Amino acid sequence: MANHQQPKTSNQQPGTHSVAPSRRLPLPVFHPDFMAEAHTAAANQALHDALDNSVTKKDAGRKQTLTDLPDADGLRQWAGEIKRHTLEHLDYYLELLEQNVIRHGGKVHFALDNAQANALVVDIARRSGAKLIIKSKSMVSEEMELNQALAEAQLEVLETDLGEFILQVDHDHPTHLVMPVIHKRAAEIGQLFARYFQTAYTDQPQALAELARVYLRRRFDEADLGVSGVNFAVAETGSVVICTNEGNGRMCTTRPRVHVAIMGMEKVIPALEDLPVFLKLLARSATGQALTQYTSIITGPRRPAEADGPREFHLIIMDNGRSRILAGEYRDTLRCIRCGACLNACPVYRKVGGRSYGSVYPGPIGALLVPLFNGLEAHAHLPEASSLCGACLEACPVQIDIPRMLIQLRQDLVRKRIGPPAARIIFGFWARALRHGWSYRLGQVLQRRILRLLAGRDGWVRNLPGAVRGWTQIRDFPAPPPKGFRRLYREYRRGRTPGTGGRKDEG
């Protein structure tokens, strides 16, 4: 880690800083061009170091802790089956959830899209007279861009998960489902906090966490409204389950007068007895822990005899394109429990990080969800952002067959004629050539001759031109020999001694 000190510019104590880092500045716009972003990211050594350090460890931790379970694969299959069953009867379970939340004194709101969900939070905040809104980590609120909506409504909002707090101070987006700030090094965060808190520079993680902790502690007491995500919503009891590793989740859901929990409609599970199946898998898959530090099961607002908890509890259930996905051939993507294991296992994510995916949902599941949510036309590269090695399927605790669906999305690209016309023409010719023996053989002869012409004196092809230059960007390959396998085989059948030399090129 860098050891450069920055001067202390003020005597102000950490934690007395009075300006909340609301996202009043616009967040950087996501770049929808995966290839352009991936090229930049692939050359970023600092990003590789950060990813190697965390992602590889988490992936190893997942594999290790799953061995604690007597039948991890059986449990994954069971979890997948529970999700499949719930999605098949989603209308029933959502109604049951609604009835039970209301029965326990909560209010349920359905939002068709981001705008409706944001408007609901703003409306609840205004009606309750909230001055400060505190938030725990929630991917759905990132999807909604809730912080920007609250800032536009002149409401002060404060992220309280450490990673999300860092992003809020730095006006940045998360790049991992579970470790939002994975792309930042301690030195960067040290400089950021030194500027923000006006304290001496440090890059020691514990000291940085302490700065944030002292500040956030004070703000927890001032907050009127807490917003949280939902890991699971239990239809049978009307409870929401929140799994976190920092105490901030409990502070957000118990200290303020009002708690607003927001969930995508796929987060419902049928009954409390299903919960342990997911709890056993979620933390193991996400971080390699047996359980997250805190698992809160919240059922309605504070009751008369209870000492703490909010006076009002609201549950916002958001659709935002999910019913469309539910009705189509990509329904299985809605099984996702956002554990991030597929990101940690993915060789592409490990090279290019999360920003390249152009959304808050990165990695293999992002390569599916982003085109499904935002349109394939706008994210045509994402189905290609995979080596189809199958590591994501192997890692997924609910056995989502991501590689199969990525291939299906690639078929959609062809069917809908999306993508560069040059690629369509080249692949069209290729497909026709592969249909007939004579054209296939002719193609081989031409390919052999062209590659031999392009080879250097040492017999290696190093720089292919034009549309195929990507093949030699990071690898060289030897020019093909003058005789191909077919010719050698024919010679062998005719009883001649096969050789690899000769003047005539033939496939």
- Is residue 409 within the footprint of ligand SF4 (CB under 6 A)? no
State which of positions 442-501 bind ligand SF4 (CB under 6 A). Answer: none
The rounded distance, in Å, linking the Cα atoms of 230 and 297 is 10
State which of positions 73-132 bind ligand SF4 (CB under 6 A). Answer: none
Residues present in the chain in total: 507
Q: Which stretch binds ligand SF4 (CB under 6 A): 154-162, 374-382, 394-402, 470-478?
A: 394-402
- Is residue 337 within the footprint of ligand SF4 (CB under 6 A)? yes
Q: Which of 122, 342, 370, 461 binds ligand SF4 (CB under 6 A)?
A: 342
- Contact of 238 with 317, CB cutoff 8 Å: no
Beta strands (DSSP E) in 294-427 are: 294-298, 312-318
Q: Which of 223, 396, 406, 413 binds ligand SF4 (CB under 6 A)?
A: 396
CA distances from residue 83 to 235, 272, 295 in whole angstroms, order as listed: 13, 14, 20
Which one-letter amino acid corresponds to residue 94? L
CB of 224 to ligand SF4, least distance (A): 33
CA distances from residue 440 to 51, 425, 444 in whole angstroms, order as listed: 43, 17, 6
- Is residue 338 within the footprint of ligand SF4 (CB under 6 A)? yes
- Taking residues 279 to 318 in sequence order and writing x for each that binds ligand SF4 by CB under 6 A, - otherwise, the string is ------x---------------------------------
- Is residue 366 within the footprint of ligand SF4 (CB under 6 A)? no
The rounded distance, in Å, linking the Cα atoms of 135 and 385 is 32
SS3 state at 246? coil
CB of 74 to ligand SF4, least distance (A): 17
- Residues 6 or more apart whose CB falls under 8 angstroms from that of 57 comprise 288
CA distances from residue 189 to 42, 209, 229, 348 in whole angstroms, order as listed: 22, 10, 25, 26
CB of 354 to ligand SF4, least distance (A): 12
- Taking residues 142 to 181 in sequence order and writing x for each that binds ligand SF4 by CB under 6 A, - otherwise, the string is -----------------------------------x----
CB of 397 to ligand SF4, least distance (A): 6
Which one-letter amino acid corresponds to residue 85? H
CB of 319 to ligand SF4, least distance (A): 19
Q: Which stretch binds ligand SF4 (CB under 6 A): 51-59, 101-109, 332-340, 423-431?
A: 332-340
- Is residue 365 within the footprint of ligand SF4 (CB under 6 A)? yes
- Contact of 51 with 353, CB cutoff 8 Å: yes
What does DSSP say about strands 258-264 and 225-228: parallel, antiparallel, or unpaired?
A: parallel
Q: Which of 262, 395, 406, 413 binds ligand SF4 (CB under 6 A)?
A: 395
- Is residue 339 within the footprint of ligand SF4 (CB under 6 A)? yes
Q: Which of 50, 90, 211, 341 binds ligand SF4 (CB under 6 A)?
A: 341
For residues 341, 345, 348, 351, the Cα torsion angle rounded to the nearest 10 degrees is 100
- Is residue 406 within the footprint of ligand SF4 (CB under 6 A)? no
Vertex 306 angle, CA 300 and 309, to 5°: 50
- Is residue 405 within the footprint of ligand SF4 (CB under 6 A)? no
Which stretches of the chain bind ligand SF4, using CB under 6 A? 177, 285, 336-342, 365, 395-398, 400
